[in-house]
Structure 1
Amino acid sequence: MKRILGLSLALLCALSLCGCSELKQLRIETADQKLQIEKLRADNQACQEALKQAQALLAQKESEIKVKEVKVKQQSDAFREMQEAMKAELAGKQVAIQELEGKLTLTMVESILFDSGRAEVKPEGIATLTKVAEVLKTLSDKEVVVAGYTDNVPISGKLARTYPSNWELSTARATSVIKILLEAGVDPKILSVAGYAEFRPVADNASPEGRAQNRRMEIILTPKR
């Protein structure tokens, strides 16, 4: 009887120890599971934050694209309007229009604007610039540079008293053009003037034809910064 009782107690102890061991293992596994869940929650939160940032960046890029598309359309519209306004001058090759990398350049030969060695705009030139002004008045998102250029022939004689060099002549001519545009109603805040003398030629000054190409006026339109 005592032996049976001893065996029973031993069995109960063994079962108890076994149960405690299983309980301990379950607790360990439960703790591990909780850690995994917390890690997954943290990873999920990080993913959500990354997703929000990606969505915000996408929205910003889409907005920038829309702004660029509007600017491109405005530039194209300005190009077409300038072409329409300058049809006669373009046909007579007195004016050239170029659109490149967001910049619109209107180039006018000297003969349409000025007499040789003079900075006063001729009546024919005033009429042409008035057409240009009508287009410029519709543009509020552009900066306009009026730039004068000459050939490499030095100024001499009495003319040198007024214009000691081609720097003075090119700048005076550009300023005269600016004044015509202002009188026609162009916003002065979008205008600036530049004179480059003979130092930015577009043709060889060795020939009369090349020098004629270099004696020019440019009206350059660029997007506002």
Structure 2
Amino acid sequence: MKKRLVLAALISVLATACVPQQQYNQEVQQVQHLTYMDNTYKQLNQNLQTEVNTDQVQIKQLQNRLQVTMVNAILFPEGGWELSQNGKRELGKIVPTLQSVTGKQIVIEGFTDNELILEPLKSRFPNNWYLSAARAISVVSYLEEQGIDPNELSAVAFGKYHPVASNDSREGRAQNRRINIVIQDQTP
């Protein structure tokens, strides 16, 4: 949809008047970028269709970025930070798409609920910042092992902050425990 609007705008500008070469090049580049992101979005949706249909994964296309949100339950064992075998299978579904991503940054964002961490995990993870960081790093490490360029990978921890649902219910807490895989433009 965005691609069509940009393409229509580009055609109308070209049809009504001559534009400077630099402006034309920028508009062509923007159309190419939107097409690239749209194709990547479609590949991710296709590869994760079952998970999307069962609300375990959400894929959003935002301005200049794509965001794949995966609930922790499909990636990690309860209270865990190391990927489960199922988590590796789930990530494996999108590895080919991520391997084809070029000139972008792949940011893995870790989130938790607001529950306090109890022993024995508390000695390893004093708070939710540490746990969300360990989960994000676990995903980054796995993606690197699968051949994703480490120069394009990064991990970010948000802990219990930025919830997407209320932490007052079990279901809400489950939604807040998540990993976002964000494909975005490289920062200089």
Q: TM-score, normalised by structure 2?
A: 0.87
The C-alpha deviation readout for 1:147-200, integer Å capped at 9, x for no partner, is 100000010121101111101100000000011111111111111001110011
Q: Which has the higher contact order (CA 8 A, sep 6+)?
A: 2
Matched, 1:174 2:140: no
Of the three residues 22, 43, 50, the one matched with 1:60 is: 22
Of the three residues 209, 212, 215, the one matched with 2:177 is: 215
Alignment of 1:32-71 (within 5 A): 58-71=20-33
- Equivalent residue, structure 1, for 2:145: 183
Alignment of 1:1-225 (within 5 A): 58-225=20-187
Which residue identity is paired with 2:95?
A
- Structure-2 separation of matches of 1:131 and 1:181: 11
Task: Give the C-alpha shift of residue 120 in structure 1.
Answer: 1.0
Q: Once superposed, which parts of structure 1, at least 4 consecutive aligned residues long, lie more than 4 Å away?
A: none
Query: Normalized per residue, which structure has more helix?
Result: 1
Matched-pair identity in %: 34
Query: Normalized per residue, which structure has more strand?
Result: 2
Superposition RMSD in Å: 1.4
SS in 1 for 2:108: strand
Q: TM-score, normalised by structure 1?
A: 0.73
- Structure-1 separation of matches of 2:106 and 2:81: 20
User: For structure 2, which runs of at least 5 residues remain unmatched after alignment?
Assistant: 1-17
- Structure-2 separation of matches of 1:123 and 1:158: 23
The C-alpha deviation readout for 1:88-145, integer Å capped at 9, x for no partner, is 2212221110111121000000100111221011111101111221101001121110
User: For structure 1, which runs of at least 5 residues remain unmatched after alignment?
Assistant: 1-54
The C-alpha deviation readout for 1:8-50, integer Å capped at 9, x for no partner, is xxxxxxxxxxxxxxxxxxxxxxxxxxxxxxxxxxxxxxxxxxx
- Structure-1 separation of matches of 2:168 and 2:49: 31
- Structure-2 separation of matches of 1:89 and 1:183: 23
Report if the CA contact (8 A) 1:151-1:211 is conserved: yes
Task: Count the aligned residue pairs.
Answer: 171
Report if the CA contact (8 A) 1:130-1:180 is conserved: no
SS in 2 for 1:196: strand
SS in 2 for 1:217: strand
- Whichever of the two has the greater Rg, that structure is 1
